[in-house]
Structure 1
């Protein structure tokens, strides 16, 4: 459970607050929408102090040269310098306006003494009182008796026993209140012995302050700061409360340090009732040649003796627990940069124990890498390395962690020559390291020559390439083996060559036509295109059973693989091919060029069997690939739909089916429905080569942001796995937004340790689950931050804003 009340602006700058409620609507189909800016459109219209003059200039720079115009019912002036004014007194000087029942004014010194219903207005704030004494030239004054004030830029307002205008931008109020709610309708407010405001720094300071909601005090501090605008300010961020089964109740109150315009920091002390005290933090920086972020969590001693998922998992009771992330980019010289990403955790159970949502607990690998990158007009290069840490508590490290690639270098070039032609090369040199596995280095060279002949309605793109791959295996390679799978059996072969190689040509021809015509659909005029395309690929077969599998896997077949020269990721396997892809696409474009409907259908025809496979997938002797069909439409700005379907003509099975529908509900509401099905071929278990299992996905997901009124909206997300027969994640909540406050109550139930795949191995336990409830309240104008609720909902609900 979390409760948030901000005493400083956020560590991340968000869209500027608006008084009229204007904001950018998140486009349909956007995966992650930006946060909604604060707006005060739900406040009382024209909610200013009653004497506000909207026609008075806002330009305060005119004060020094402007004349002062004074009017009243009666005037007495004994020496033409001091004026005694009574009855409807009004004095105007540039952006300053003073009204009172009676006033004394000195035209030489610009001193004034106003009494009875005194109203004062200038460019950034309003003040009313029974009595104000001041000087218009210095913008100083002292107000006493029934003091009321309002800040025109921030919607802030309040009352005080005494108010003092120190200069044009600074004010001080004694025994005062402050709120951004409607005047006279304070849902929440700060009550303080003293409140100072400074428009120069955009900061307010309250001393001896108590925060109240509906008149009930709930927080006291001897000193607090709050923002007067959207600029970053040092101070406390929203306190946060939550409960999870692995860590217990959690409380934290971050403090933000606005150190400089180009760097800042946040310290986040936390306390877990089951595990103890933790210190977290974040440092962000941006300099002319470098920028980055450093995040850390540190628990000196874990108090909890929990039940680990696997018997081999390390006991963490009494031990340090930590994680950190460092991301940095450094510009060395024009065209050269150094990129660094380091992710580490103290143990493989860390995210499982301290994660509080499905995304965190389902993360299985933490990547780390460092690369020196260079590029020019026709080339790019890099040198560095990659490594991963296993944070999946149910898998041993030697199984879950990929090979370390240290060092790794790449060089790519693409040089145009003549009119149509390019000469290029992709190359990689890398050394692989992994305990209890075959190790070695690999050099992969991929030179090519291609051409791009094209006209307004046609294109022909031939390409001739040659791939050469050589290995140098480390000592002891004979002790390891590779698996080769056939439709009837799996055979294990020992490596018998320390320096295996592979070389082969790769020839392709990509060609297509583009036709268009004018047509109409549902009474609307469109331009329709018809785009047939043929792609021929030839790669001779090479037996690659003697090559190790360092970083290569067979990729799931999808639409983009209709036009790719290899179905494997990495360089350890190169598919053989004598294939012809035929596909056709049609599009409907409106008068503005917006693609309102697109449909694609295609298939690969295999003239020779697909003999090259990875270790756990048998060769295929099919005559054709899956049929691929896609349809996407957005006929108007209210709804969009996309679907993809893959059908295998050899097995007569559907291998992939997806359907996504999004409907906009009002201004900020949305309804999503999606279905995903993936049926893969039979694989062989890496734990037992003779034991087969299937890896499949079938899920339904429905999510919505449903506006009940302009103040209330319901939030929901429901993901169900048909194969697991269980709910993967469910989120339900309600949000309220008023003039000066936002409230969110969200409950979520999620599976722990779930990766979206069901394993039907015998006695394979299903992942556990956890439930959490989150409560957040935001006081508008007191700082903005993306809390836990917003982060969760933006990730789970397509189009949430």
Structure 2
């Protein structure tokens, strides 16, 4: 008897490559994907359906049914019934607990009439259908097998792969991949326990494109309707699709209440866009947008925001009331030919206050400078090169453009590293840059840094000598003698520059060496391998007077452990320190049986055989004396991870010259359960800052998590950033409410503020986010903030 199993209303070739049952699949969502302690970037947590009821399926679900839908055409149909009437040899009347099974399809009913010639069928009485993709129950179902269409009444349905389920007064199978429900509901919550659902005049399911469409729909939370949409589309699988993302609702001290209703456009597989209309109660309407593309040889992104008329109050900063304001951000990388690509970025705001008003809110850090760059970049097996230019825009309304870095228009860089033998290599770092900045000395700089480096050793020892020569030359523009290090002499600058073409040339010689000892060790009943690694680093650089060289892009770097082994304590090429130094350092590590480093402790110090004479700049009427140190700070650092739940990191610098602590840092991290974390840190740098910081993600229960972060400045005797929030997670809904109180740019004291009064140095923001699982989210406005402020947040 040829009875096809395609009697289902929403049957079709559902992908059943995953052999897990829904109950098993849901439970796997709660797998421990905790971010490793100390990680700065943690992968987002996937949507977790672990809190859904493991057996929240329609009651007739059969977990033992085959799940491979590809075997349907080649599999026979097995028929079971208490009574079979085939007296007319054409229509079969089956009754009494009828069961038709083929491959992954199973149809059960009290009665089924099947026409073997036309393949019409009529099932009635407790109709139940199951395949790899869905379950369906109905009081009556009729249709045609060959045409793959049918009609069912009083329907209950459930999608096994996408978790959608609901009810309908009637369902129609249009073909094997398309189904329409009338007077229907849809939700991804547990069957019979809908926290939210759509009620629509019709819901169409398109398996080919992975899209559901609801018409004349009302969304309800509980029994309360709160959103009406004449047309709404939603995903039924993980593929991208066009449609509304859920609104963002928030409030900040600068812009008032905010509501955002983004709409995603899945234009093509290789490009898409998002339109983001917003309204700020204190400033007016904004239209934002994002466009991303990936075409052969190129990838890029364009973001834009436009405020046609800002009606915000004038607060003493730039008067933007009534102005149109905008922000444009563009980046592109285009492959030109093998080894070469063109990279570019353009970032520009209409005014210096734009990001202060619209960007520095709950989910953003303060940004003071926007940079734009265009460059031709190439690389090969032993070389790299770049030619381009970089400009900057000031977006801090509390300072002038004097605080901007020099423009580099243009620059050219070339580097190479050529192996001459197994242990010897030749290298070169070089650049030529034209520096531009109004009100400051301008000119061109060429820097050449060739070197020879050798590497001898084994797993137990190493010796790495290096010989280099550094040549730096300048060609200053006309009027250079009118400038000092701080700008015009009339502004109180230092001694003017006296040479139009100054230069510097000197050798840089270093010898790095070390030993590695190891032994078996035991601690707290665990076996480890302990290493002892002494290291000596000698550096020689003769003194050259560099007082007549301008400072284009050079600053003194913060002293830390890695500075013990650095050939220069200045960034940029405008200064090369003199040195006759020997660094001694000692490191010990504990490695567990799997090779994981559980403890690392290091201590080091530089011994100066001659004074450090090169300084950044000398004042007009004073001379900066050379340092008379014979020893640098003692630098110590410690990192302990004796298990996967605790981490302790610390660094400390003590000066034997002043007998004072110059720097101290302590970080403690504790994993709480599988999705909680606690962080505590203390940071101190003499004369600059002393801060305490604490942050936590605390799981109160399976559904509730508290989040918080707090930074306190001892120097300022105030909290400079505080955040508190709550997260709720259930089977089909996640909620987050976060508030933040923080200091704005004015706190950091960038020079005098040209305002009638002192601006408020503290802002507040609050935001609410909801995720209806399986439908979308608000776009993740809160997530970047929590990732930034809570180390290890997921």
> Which interval holds the TM-score relative to the shorter structure?
over 0.9
1:760 & 1:606 partners in 2: Cα distance? 41
Corresponding residue of 1:134: 143
- Superposed structure 1 runs of 4+ greater than 6 Å apart: 754-761, 763-767
Matched, 1:627 2:629: no
Corresponding residue of 2:388: 384
Determine which of 768, 774, 784 is the counterpart of 1:781: 774
Matched, 1:121 2:130: yes
Question: Unaligned stretches of 5+ in structure 2?
Answer: 1-21
- Matching of residues 470-549 of structure 1 within 5 Å: 470-482=473-485, 492-549=494-551
1:593 & 1:369 partners in 2: Cα distance? 43
Matched, 1:568 2:576: no
Matched, 1:329 2:333: yes
1:767 & 1:674 partners in 2: Cα distance? 28
1:327 & 1:263 partners in 2: Cα distance? 14
Corresponding residue of 1:658: 665
2:668 & 2:186 partners in 1: Cα distance? 46
Determine which of 216, 219, 234 is the counterpart of 1:226: 234
Corresponding residue of 1:246: 254
1:244 & 1:609 partners in 2: Cα distance? 53
2:481 & 2:66 partners in 1: Cα distance? 86
Matched, 1:793 2:783: no
Per-residue CA shift, 1:231-258, capped at 9, x if unaligned?
1110000101111121111111000001
Corresponding residue of 1:683: none
Matched, 1:419 2:459: no
SS of the aligned residue for 1:354 comes to: helix
Determine which of 179, 183, 197 is the counterpart of 1:171: 179
Per-residue CA shift, 1:173-216, capped at 9, x if unaligned?
00000001111111100000000011111100000010000110
CA RMSD of aligned residues (A): 2.2
Per-residue CA shift, 1:357-393, capped at 9, x if unaligned?
3774621111211111111111111110111111111
Matched, 1:593 2:602: no
1:259 & 1:785 partners in 2: Cα distance? 20
Corresponding residue of 2:204: 196
Superposition deviation, residue 341 in structure 1: 1.8
- Asked if structure 1 preserves the Cα contact closer than 8 Å seen for 2:364 and 2:785, the reply is no
Matched, 1:292 2:296: no
Per-residue CA shift, 1:521-571, capped at 9, x if unaligned?
122111011111111111111111111001111111111111111000100
Superposition deviation, residue 767 in structure 1: 6.4
2:561 & 2:361 partners in 1: Cα distance? 31
Corresponding residue of 2:357: 353
Determine which of 250, 265, 268 is the counterpart of 2:276: 268
1:198 & 1:403 partners in 2: Cα distance? 56
Of 284-293 and 221-230, the range deviating more from structure 2:
284-293
- Asked if structure 2 preserves the Cα contact closer than 8 Å seen for 1:697 and 1:757, the reply is no
Corresponding residue of 1:10: none
TM-score by length of 1: 0.92
- Matching of residues 337-736 of structure 1 within 5 Å: 337-357=341-361, 360=364, 362-397=366-401, 399-482=402-485, 492-615=494-617, 618=624, 619-680=626-687, 696-736=688-728
Of 563-572 and 296-305, the range deviating more from structure 2:
296-305
- Asked if structure 2 preserves the Cα contact closer than 8 Å seen for 1:234 and 1:255, the reply is yes
2:633 & 2:213 partners in 1: Cα distance? 66
Superposition deviation, residue 759 in structure 1: 9.6
- Asked if structure 1 preserves the Cα contact closer than 8 Å seen for 2:335 and 2:341, the reply is yes
Distance 1:677 1:321, change over 3 A: same
1:188 & 1:343 partners in 2: Cα distance? 41
Per-residue CA shift, 1:560-597, capped at 9, x if unaligned?
11111100010001101111111011110001000000
Superposition deviation, residue 96 in structure 1: 2.0
SS of the aligned residue for 1:424 comes to: strand
1:492 & 1:674 partners in 2: Cα distance? 40
1:770 & 1:42 partners in 2: Cα distance? 37
TM-score by length of 2: 0.93
Superposition deviation, residue 59 in structure 1: 2.4
2:25 & 2:35 partners in 1: Cα distance? 17
1:766 & 1:589 partners in 2: Cα distance? 54
Superposition deviation, residue 167 in structure 1: 2.1
- Asked if structure 1 preserves the Cα contact closer than 8 Å seen for 2:694 and 2:709, the reply is yes
SS of the aligned residue for 1:211 comes to: strand
Superposition deviation, residue 481 in structure 1: 1.4
Superposition deviation, residue 308 in structure 1: 3.0
Question: Unaligned stretches of 5+ in structure 1?
Answer: 1-15, 485-489, 681-695
2:193 & 2:204 partners in 1: Cα distance? 22
2:601 & 2:465 partners in 1: Cα distance? 26
The total of aligned residue pairs comes to 759
Superposition deviation, residue 633 in structure 1: 0.8
Superposition deviation, residue 756 in structure 1: 7.1
2:751 & 2:346 partners in 1: Cα distance? 31
